[in-house]
Structure 1
Amino acid sequence: MAGGSRDPGRSVTDKVLSVLTAFEKERRALGLSEIAVLADLPVSTAHRLVGELTEWGFLSRTPHGRYQLGLRIWELAQNVGRQLRETARPFVQDLYSLTGENAQLAVRDGSEVLYIDRVYGTKRVPRASRVGGRLPMHSTAVGKVLLAYEEPWVLEAYLNLELAAATPRTITAPGRLAAEIAQVREQGFAETFEEIRVGACSIAVPVFHTGRIGAALGLVIPSEQSGTMQKHLPALRAVSARIERATAHIPLETLLDSHQVFRR
């Protein structure tokens, strides 16, 4: 899959990954010219790479001639964090049963939150992501928990990034975010109110692993119930402790490589 590009210094791997991550940016079926622009590739190069990725099943072609991620991607993605997800899933389901609220388990993947598992309820709550999806750490309760209990350099590095605002309530001032993260560490939980989606709030607690932060466990709740979120803390903490005990025998690094350096 060799060929020219607008940047002759780019590797084949870089070009292929640029094609695949184009769908992460848009999350819809894309035309060939759109893929070329998003991947910063000549149309001829994009055409060749898209064709080969389609043959391998990593992309699929719609009846209208556009492209979307293929089932092969989904199949491979199921292996990401599988040990953590399979071990923790009964407890995440139990958290939903105890609270009646949307329950979720997340880890840090570079500078983002990666959702390992979710149990959805019947309440209508705006959803910002899905299992396997990623969101910024500064605008989610699970992300704030992960920042609070990671090594100090992680927060320092994160505060140097551009903090995008998903809603008018998203905290984007580094000083204000640092102060809130310090409070999260002191109180042992994080809360958000419409920071990632209008109409949704969240609360989360840490899940430790042999004394280190391993994951974050949270609930997503309709905004009108934000005043009563803390009533779920006993259930969150109890389930977190159960997940910690259940995963203690699994080396943290094999659960998921969630402590990698920040991605580009």
Structure 2
Amino acid sequence: MTRTAPDEDTHHESVLSRAARILEAFSQDEPALTVSEIARRTGLHVATASRLVAELVVHGFLSRDDDRRVRIGVRLWELVMRASPTLSLRDAAMPFMEGVHDVVGHHVQLGVRQGDDVLFLERLSAPNAVINYSRIAGRLPLYASSSGLVLLAHGPADVRERVLAGPLTAYTAATAATPARLRTLLAGARQQGYAFCPGHVHEEALGVAAPVRGADGTVVAALSVIVPNDAGAQAVVPVVRMAARGVSRALGAPTAREVPAV
């Protein structure tokens, strides 16, 4: 793919759009960047990037380290935490997640669909827990994880067809990386009321997820656990399903018999 030259055709772009591109340049793997790195990632001239970074620092949306590297500022986190629509979901889920965590002792997660990915809003872990690639504010493709499969199974039909059309990259030999395999798992997630994914993202880890429903009965999130991929993992299924139902009730979801058919 040809990279757009710095500031090519961007004179029509608003300042807000350029600022958004700067904020999106950061990642969990690279939380601190130089202005030159920001300019390269955004396609902005270094002078433009430097000016916008300076303004964002003044407003607290970005901050500078002692070595002049730039990172997301506390002010941005403050505004997100104050007004995020996911707060009520997280608040409703947390007591149930803590209860599940006391039982499983590994990872408990809450995820929502964002485009073709599952975005993790919260995660509880423990020392020496099994390996887990997900993290708070991290993403995984919908087809790869137990949370993603639940959200994809109950999500819009056009999203399912787009994901089924690929590409489907295999993390392990168990990943649902073919349309036929993925359709089978999605049908199972709808019929069983949960997704059971041994070794789909990492051979040593198993994910189990169940749907969380909102007040209108639609699936708004997935509650999942990541535990060792061994013979005893099936025992966590009823724990996860019960907790997901508890979160759903806390959100005002109708009872099972009232939930609309998918």
Kindly indicate whether the alpha-carbon contact (under 8 Å) linking 2:147 and 2:222 is maintained by their aligned counterparts in 1: yes
Cα drift, residue 197 of structure 1: 4.2
State how far apart, in whole Å, the 1-side matches of 2:171 and 2:40 are: 24
State how far apart, in whole Å, the 2-side matches of 1:166 and 1:57 are: 38
Cα drift, residue 180 of structure 1: 2.1
Q: 1:145 aligns with which of 134, 147, 150?
A: 150
State how far apart, in whole Å, the 2-side matches of 1:102 and 1:140 are: 14
Q: 1:154 aligns with which of 130, 139, 159?
A: 159
The C-alpha deviation readout for 1:189-226, integer Å capped at 9, x for no partner, is: 21333433454321111112232112111101134x3x
- Identical aligned residues as a percent: 36
Tell me the residue number matched to 1:67.
Answer: 70
Kindly indicate whether the alpha-carbon contact (under 8 Å) linking 2:104 and 2:227 is maintained by their aligned counterparts in 1: no
The C-alpha deviation readout for 1:24-81, integer Å capped at 9, x for no partner, is: 3753311111111111111111111111111111111111121111112222332431
CA 172–52 in structure 1, closer or farther in 2 if over 3 Å, else same: farther
CA 19–221 in structure 1, closer or farther in 2 if over 3 Å, else same: same
Q: 2:239 aligns with which of 235, 256, 264?
A: 235
> Higher relative contact order at CA 8 Å, sep ≥6: structure 1 or structure 2?
1
Number of residue-to-residue matches in the alignment: 245
Question: Which amino acid is 1:237 matched to?
Answer: R
Tell me the residue number matched to 1:5.
Answer: 7
Tell me the residue number matched to 2:209.
Answer: 204
TM-score (norm 1): 0.83
Tell me the residue number matched to 2:228.
Answer: 222
Q: 1:46 aligns with which of 28, 33, 49?
A: 49
The C-alpha deviation readout for 1:108-149, integer Å capped at 9, x for no partner, is: 122221222222123332232322332221111101100011
> Aligned Cα RMSD in Å?
2.3
Cα drift, residue 232 of structure 1: 0.8
CA 198–117 in structure 1, closer or farther in 2 if over 3 Å, else same: same
Is the counterpart of residue 85 in structure 1 residue 87 in structure 2? no
CA 190–10 in structure 1, closer or farther in 2 if over 3 Å, else same: same
State how far apart, in whole Å, the 1-side matches of 2:251 and 2:47 are: 48
Question: Which amino acid is 1:241 matched to?
Answer: R
CA 125–72 in structure 1, closer or farther in 2 if over 3 Å, else same: farther
Kindly indicate whether the alpha-carbon contact (under 8 Å) linking 2:101 and 2:107 is maintained by their aligned counterparts in 1: yes
CA 42–171 in structure 1, closer or farther in 2 if over 3 Å, else same: farther
Matches within 5 A, 1:72-221: 72-78=75-81, 79-80=83-84, 81-167=86-172, 169-197=174-202, 199-209=204-214, 210-221=216-227
Structure 1 range deviating more: 122-131 or 163-172: 163-172
State how far apart, in whole Å, the 1-side matches of 2:168 and 2:54 are: 36
Cα drift, residue 153 of structure 1: 2.1
Kindly indicate whether the alpha-carbon contact (under 8 Å) linking 1:6 and 1:42 is maintained by their aligned counterparts in 2: no
TM-score (norm 2): 0.84
Extract unaligned runs of 5+ from structure 1: 250-264
Is the counterpart of residue 19 in structure 1 residue 25 in structure 2? no
State how far apart, in whole Å, the 1-side matches of 2:149 and 2:43 are: 33
Extract unaligned runs of 5+ from structure 2: 1-5, 254-262
CA 48–26 in structure 1, closer or farther in 2 if over 3 Å, else same: farther
CA 197–62 in structure 1, closer or farther in 2 if over 3 Å, else same: farther
Question: Which amino acid is 1:116 matched to?
Answer: L
CA 20–206 in structure 1, closer or farther in 2 if over 3 Å, else same: same
Question: Which amino acid is 1:12 matched to?
Answer: V
